[in-house]
Amino acid sequence: MTKVTVALPPLDAGRSVIVEVAGQRVLICRTAGGLHAMDEQCPHQQLSMEGARVRHNSVMCPHHGARFSLEDGRSLSPLTAKGLKFFPCTEHGDHLGIEI
């Protein structure tokens, strides 16, 4: 894994945003507990998670409603057994360190 630092757009708790990290799109979600970085594509039908909703420590795909745990990426939905790949991340002010 390689640690990359990227600019972090303003992101309120309960929101998500997609950032480009080392040529890869990564979904960033903020909860009251902090930031989470994960694969940008939903494993249900490989559609973008852009616009994903963050609720109760889970993230929901905006296309078909597949839900995933923000603790470990596991699927919380009958739509897919596959989970989201997570990337370790740390917030440093207005920047984010992500291990890709």
- Parse the chain into domains and list their residue ranges: 3-99
User: What pLDDT is stored for residue 22 in this prediction?
Assistant: 87
DSSP-derived secondary structure for the chain: --EEEEE-----TTEEEEEEETTEEEEEEEETTEEEEEESB-TTT--B-TT-EEETTEEE-TTT--EEETTT--B-STT-S--PPEE-EEEETTEEEEE-
User: What pLDDT is stored for residue 1 in this prediction?
Assistant: 78
Class level of CATH domain 3-99: mainly beta
User: What pLDDT is stored for residue 20 in this prediction?
Assistant: 92
Please tell me the pTM assigned to this model.
Answer: 0.92
Q: Which pLDDT tens digit goes with each residue over 23-78?
A: 999 999 999 989 999 999 999 999 999 999 999 899 999 999 999 999 999 999 99
User: What pLDDT is stored for residue 79 in this prediction?
Assistant: 93
User: What pLDDT is stored for residue 90 in this prediction?
Assistant: 94
